[in-house]
Every structure is written in C-alpha cells, then in structure tokens.
Structure 1
Amino acid sequence: MNERHSTLRDQRRAETQRMIQAHAVRLFVRRGYDGTTVNDVAAAAGVSPMTVYRHFPTKEDLVLADQNGPLVADRIAATPAGQPLVRRIGTALVESARTLTAGDDRFLLARLRLMISTPALRARHLDNHHLLQQAIVDGLGDEATDPDAAFRAAAAASACLAVMHTALVRWAQDDGRTDLADLITMALAAAFGDDPSRPR
C-alpha cells in the first residue's frame, strides 16, 4: 500500500515538474529569459513561487533540468561489455536521442535554443555535460570502479559528449528539421571514423 502511494506521489511530482517547466520554457521563449521572473512562471502554472522553487531550486533549473542522465546510464548498462567504450557510449546517446525526440521534440528544441542563446544558461549547460559524463561512468558499474578504468570511461564519455554537443547545435540551427539521432550518428562517424553506434 505504501509503495503504491509512493509511486503515485512520484508520478504527481513528475507531472507537476513537467507542467511548471513547460510554462517556464513557453514564457522564456515569448518574453526572453531575463524578462521572465519565477513569479511569472508560478502565475502561469497556477502554483505558488515556493512550489516552483521546491521543484526547481534555481531559475536556470527551469530550463536545464531533465532526465537525460538516468536514461543514458540505463542505455549504457544495457550494452554488451565487450564493445569499445566509444561504441557503447555512442549507441547510448543515439538511442536516448531517439527516445527524447519521440514525443514533443519542439519542447526539447526550445530548451536547447535557450541554453545556447542565453549567457546565464551556457555555463550551467556545460555543468550538465559534466553530470551526464558522470552518469555515463556510473552506468558502466563495476567496469569503471578502478581509477584507470574510470579515467578511460570519463575520457571516452567526454569525447562523445563534445561530438553530441556539435550535433545539438546543428539541430537547433536546422530548426529541428533533421532527425537529432541521425545528426548525432553523423557527428560520431565524422569524429571517430565510422558509426560508433552501429553494432559490428
């Protein structure tokens, strides 16, 4: 019984977060990031400013918060351990992009544009890449427990994330007309000589 209540509570929390973030991104696109306050977001979402801060501790989090880290980590954990790290990470990034853009990719595109164009968000966007890099290393589990293995995993993740960032910028410039997963695949192939996301 308690487990069911906990699950329902988590679902409601996630729904509230999505709703608040959707209103925030819409306002930021319409009025500008600097021209929109947390109070504006709260009013648009029909919640109190305290509720907004409970879900998003900073204004930047309204744009940057996502579930990409756990999604990529799960994909990494599901890949065969015998494959090269870059191939495993590339596959996880491409599959995660397919999942994230399967629904409303206009929302993802709007968030990305805000991250790229807003100076206050660009530095935090790089912080998110560091967190995603750590999620990738964590997703490797026991394979990355010793310092040398963790170093190699972090290096491979960092290289793949830099390549993915280039694909994300191109996707934003293309106004989302090109499939994001395909762009990441092309960027990985350009950087590493073939398509690291294609199984051998």
Structure 2
Amino acid sequence: MSSPPRTDRNPGPSEHVATSLRERKKAKTRRTIQEQALRLFAERGYEATTVEQIAEAAEISPSTFFRYFPTKEDVVIQDDYDPLLVAAILRQPADLAPLSAVRAAFRSAFSELAPEELAQALYRAKLSLSVPAVRVRTAEGLFTTIDGLAQAVAERSDRDPDSPAVRTFVGAVMGAMLPAIFSWVEQDGAEPLPDLIDEAIGYLEAGLPI
C-alpha cells in the first residue's frame, strides 16, 4: 500500500518564487489603489470620491478594493511605517539607552523616505486632520502603532510589552511625536519631518526643559 502524501514538507524553490510573485503583485495593486485614491481625493475632494471611482481608476473591481482596504478611510491611513520603525528600533545597538535608541531609529527611518513618499505622507496627514471620518480611523490606528513600538522597546529591554513602564515610555514618545507631525502639516512640510520629530524626542530625552 502506498504511503499517504507528506504535508509537512518545506516548499520547493518554485513555490517560493510563486509566493514572492504573488506578494509583489499584491503590493503593487495596493500601491496603485492608494495612489489613485489620493489623486482623486486631491482632484475631487475626499467626500466626493467614491470607492467605485477609485476602483475604476485602479482598474479593479470594488470588491477587490475592499480586499485590500476595509473602508475608504483605510486607504488614507494604511502604510508600512510601523514595521519600518519597529525594525529601526531593533537595529539600534544594545547598549544604547531606550530613548536614545528610539530617537536614532525614528531619525533613520524617516530619513530613508524618498521625497515623493514624504509628499504623499504629508497629504495623507492633512486628510487625517481635516476629514472627521479619517481622523477617527487615524486615532484607532494609533493603538496599533503603540502596540508595535511597545513590542520593539520591550524586546530590546527584556521587559513585558504590557508593563506600565513600557506602555508609559511609548506613550511619552507618541506624545512628543504627534505635535511634531501637527507642526509639519501646519507648515505644509516646510521643515523636514525627521528634524521636527528628532527635536521633539530630543526635548523628551533632555527631561522636557522649558
């Protein structure tokens, strides 16, 4: 009698290639949807732009849109910055103090963004502050950011990410970072975002001198 097929084997090279191609195609589709959505928002206004119009511009169906973005608000707030920041924190030298590590990580992560990425981020930030529905989703998304940063800080410090010390630390960092982003939007990007965030965390690192 023949043996049953194995189900615990490692994927072969061809399967890795197929998975990689699928992931790249999904990433490209996600970028296209977001780019077309932001273009239409700029041309027609957020409220006047429908999911159907975004889908048509991206050459997909509305159902495909919702597979990538659960709501129209999500097409504004979703990005890859949280994993970028977490990875930058974990790359910092182990002997660097937690706040110094976070400050260096934020500086390096935001400095890596291309000018067109920063321009898109600025427009998305403007929408997040000016459109009530997007503002609500942005506030909800902050909890995800806090959780990710807490995991990274806890891993570097060998602490529990849910401990009051870690959560308070991350809350203080976010409290310093948000006004910097607000200033960036108010100035229409005149001052570089990495400089504003670095200055804000620098005040925190110095004990908030006034």
Report the TM-score when normalising by structure 2. 0.84
Query: How many angstroms apart in 2 are the aligned matches of 1:102 and 1:113?
Result: 17
Change beyond 3 A, Cα 1:102–1:151: farther
Counterpart of 2:147 in structure 1 is 134
CA shift, 1:194, in A, is: 7.5
* Residue of structure 1 equivalent to 2:157: 143
Cα separation, 1, equivalents of 2:44 and 2:200: 33
Q: 2:193 aligns with which of 177, 180, 183?
A: 180
For residue 196 of structure 2, give the secondary structure of its aligned residue in structure 1.
helix
1:139-194 deviation per Cα after TM superposition (whole angstroms, max 9, x unaligned) = 2427355367x432221111111211111111112211211101111122233327
The answer to whether 1:154 aligns with 2:148 is no
Within the alignment, does 1:44 sit opposite 2:44 as a pair? no
CA drift at 1:121: 1.2
The whole-number CA distance in structure 1 between the counterparts of 2:35 and 2:69 is 13
Partner of 2:19: 6
* 1:26-175 → structure 2 map (5 Å cutoff): 26-140=39-153, 141=155, 143-146=157-160, 150-175=163-188
- Residue 112 of structure 2 aligns to a residue whose secondary structure is helix
Compared CA separation, residues 146 and 183, structure 1 to 2 (3 A)? closer
What amino acid maps onto 1:113 in structure 2?
K
The gaps in structure 1 that reach 5 residues or longer are: 196-200
The amino acid that maps onto 1:163 is A
Unaligned runs of 5+ in 2: 1-13
Distance 1:176 1:32 in 2: 20
Secondary structure class of the residue paired with 1:82? coil
Report percent identity of matched pairs: 31
Between Structure 1 and Structure 2, whose CA radius of gyration is higher?
2
Cα distance between partner residues in 2 of 1:176 and 1:36: 25
Aligned length: 194
**Letter of the aligned partner of 2:98 in structure 1?**
L
How much has 1:62 moved relative to structure 2? Answer: 0.5
- CA RMSD of the aligned region, Å? 2.0
TM-score with structure 1 setting the length = 0.88
